[in-house]
Chains A and B, each alone.
Chain A
Amino acid sequence: MNVRHAKTALLGALAVCLLASLFASRINGYWLNNFYDIGIGMVMAVSLNLINGYTGQFSLGHAGFMAVGAYTAAMITNQFGELNFLAANGVFALALAAGGLAAAGAGLLVGIPTLRLRGDYLAIVTLGFGEIIRVILQNMNAVGGARGLSVMHGWTNLFWTFGLAAVTVYVVASLVNSTYGRGFIAVHDDEVAAEAIGINTTKYKVTAFVVGAFFAGVAGGLYAHSKQFLAPGGFGFLQSITFVVMVILGGMGNTIGVLLAAVLLTLLPEGLRLLADIEHLPGIAADRPLGWIGGTRMIIYSLLLIVLMLTRPQGLFAKQFKIKN
């Protein structure tokens, strides 16, 4: 992969995002929010892909890292009142970075003890950690506990969201294409063999967790300043599963596939909502004939999940965009 190309691509993407955010006021508030969700989903999915897809460590607690980042970033920006453009963006960048670092710390905490575990066990332990983080936040009065935390500044915009998504993709792709990447893939393919030939699997596994957690924390910060309200219940098992599904849908270890899956899965509930809202269908007399979709959205989602696993477990986009050599 041509390094010069990658850097140009990144800068190009950032420029596009900057332009996009300048036109943001023309965009319907609801769709703008959806775009933010897509961008945040992309960061979460790509970062989880590093852990699950490339390194083969099954993590079910990614939303927990997001929570750590979200709350950290929010606590920092809440200390400031109204700021001018430059100061606001500066503080925001710092807050996001801090959130990422805090989440990375959590990633270290989770990564190290779980080194010896494989497959199913690892999954449950990461799930457990995610839940523990949620319970701690719920009981921490300093961050509002069950009552939640209001975030004063809604600083997330298209530039930050998609810009950071581009940066995440760049960093993960660069990592994967370096010697680290070889290490990740070795751990993924056969951990015992890798150890046998002298690869320090510990180092690679922990690196994957920490980097993945860092970006999840950044995504959390973006999320906090988009929704402007945080509740511990919003970072539970269901959220973690959503990101895992994105990684699987996209084809594990397939960055483009995962990006597309993030878009798809974020827009799916909204798509179903739009379907349910349709006032009239030709040939059907009743009002809102697809209204029943509203109450059954989660049922449809879970059935889709089962059908997907039964029919195309390698992901929807596996064939088209296989990047692995």
Chain B
Amino acid sequence: MTEFLQQLINGLAFGSILALIALGYTMVYGILRFINFAHGDVFMLGAFAGFYLAPKIATVVPLPSIGGGLVVLVAAMAICAALGVLIERFAYRPLRSRPKLTVLITAIGVSLFLEYAGQFVFGAAPKKFPQILPVYPIAHLGGLSLNSNQVVVLGVTLLLLLGLRFIVLKTKMGTAMRAVSFNPEAAALMGVNTDVIISFTFALGSALAAAAGILWAVNYPAIDPLMGILPGLKAFVAAVLGGIGNLPGAALGGVIIGVTETLVSGYISSTYRDAIAFAVLILILLIKPSGLLGKKEAEKV
């Protein structure tokens, strides 16, 4: 029983991070109907931003500490938000009227660029992410191990989710976002500046990816320029699983993928762990393509 609980906790922590990344995918898809392939690499850049900022921040706020960790988190989120806006402005916006394929290929190009430039600039070898948060063992009862890092992941994810929900449902920007995702032309006619909203969406999604990157690096303190590939892919599957374009769906999808992968890996076989996410993807697309929480969109002819 303890083994199962342990696996469950492991899966939840892992899945929460996937959820954060998945939110970015789903937001961009909801607005633009486009899969931002480079999203996983923004996640990686968030981790590296934290890596390079931490020593500078440590001169002002002592690390590891809760306050210091928070500063690093927010700083990384800000940097990646700006980066997301830049990428959208220069690589995706000029192609808005083009067929989906073109933008997809561009996104792949941006992704490859970030990965290889990362290897060139940061070096290919993994780096140790500095400790920015103090670690407290929380539970050690009867073989079950839980420490504060995992709790932090769950806590921060929850907070960010609630924050996102607030923005989307209760603010003007959020309403505008939802308008644009329903019908861009109508929204524009109602006076919504679609360009600004799209930039804002990218900024928000990238900030969440950065937060995911920092949380990931706190739990798995080895960062390298290619670290975003697999989590990015799995997070995308999570977004599709939950119903792409659907925010709570993305979060749910992330958790499901995380837990499933962990349980299958622990109980059945760890050999095919990578393939599990893809298998889930194919299954869901065959059975219920609109995802668990998605609505079936009638295709307009």
Contact = CB atoms under 8 A, between A and B. Distances in A.
A–B direct touch, CB within 8 Å, in complex? yes
Interface of A: 58, 113-114, 116-117, 119-121, 123-125, 128-129, 131-132, 135-136, 139, 192-193, 241, 244-245, 248, 295-296, 298-299, 301-303, 305-306, 309-310, 313
A139 B299 CA distance: 41
A124 B35 contact: yes
Contacts of B278: 128-129, 131-132
Contact of B105 (A192, A244, A296, A298): A244
Interface string B281-293: 1100110010000
A132 B279 contact: yes
B16 to A, nearest CB: 23
Given A139-B272, A192-B301, A244-B105, A306 B279 contact: no
B240 A135 contact: no
Given A135-B272, A139-B271, A299-B120, A248 B285 contact: no
A248 B279 contact: no
A114 B283 CA distance: 11
B255 to A, nearest CB: 20
A185 to B, nearest CB: 16
B34 A120 contact: yes
Given A192-B301, A313-B98, A303 B281 contact: no
B105 A124 contact: no
Interface stretch (B3-11, B109-117, B205-213): B109-117
Contacts of A132: 275, 278-279, 282
A141 to B, nearest CB: 11
Interface of B: 33-35, 91, 94-95, 98-106, 108-113, 116-117, 120, 236-237, 240, 271-272, 274-275, 278-279, 281-282, 285-286, 289, 299, 301
A296 B109 contact: no
Nearest to A131: B278
B95 A302 contact: no
Contact of A309 (B95, B111, B279): B95
A186 to B, nearest CB: 15
Contacts of B286: 113
Nearest to B116: A298
B105 A248 contact: yes
B102 A128 contact: no
B105 to A, nearest CB: 5
Given A135-B272, A310-B91, A117 B113 contact: no
A310 B106 contact: yes
B289 A121 contact: yes
A131 B282 CA distance: 12
Contact of B100 (A120, A128, A301): A120
Contact of A128 (B95, B105, B281): B281
10 shortest A-B CB distances, which residue pairs? A305-B109, A128-B278, A302-B112, A302-B113, A306-B109, A298-B116, A309-B106, A135-B275, A313-B102, A299-B116
B104 to A, nearest CB: 7
A53 to B, nearest CB: 10
A136 B98 CA distance: 37
A102 B109 CA distance: 32
Contacts of A58: 101, 104
29 contacts: A58-B101, A116-B289, A117-B289, A119-B100, A119-B101, A120-B33, A120-B100, A124-B240, A128-B278, A128-B282, A132-B279, A132-B282, A135-B274, A139-B272, A193-B301, A248-B102, A299-B116, A299-B117, A299-B120, A302-B109, A302-B113, A305-B112, A306-B109, A306-B113, A309-B103, A309-B106, A310-B91, A313-B95, A313-B102
A296 to B, nearest CB: 6
Contact of A298 (B100, B112, B271): B112
Given A116-B289, A125-B285, A302-B116, A309 B301 contact: no
A129 B275 CA distance: 9
A124 B286 CA distance: 13
Contacts of A119: 100-101
Contacts of A120: 33-35, 100, 104
A193 to B, nearest CB: 8
Contacts of A121: 240, 285, 289
Given A120-B104, A135-B272, A310 B116 contact: no
Contacts of B285: 114, 117, 121, 125
Contacts of A124: 35, 236, 240, 281
A264 B103 CA distance: 22
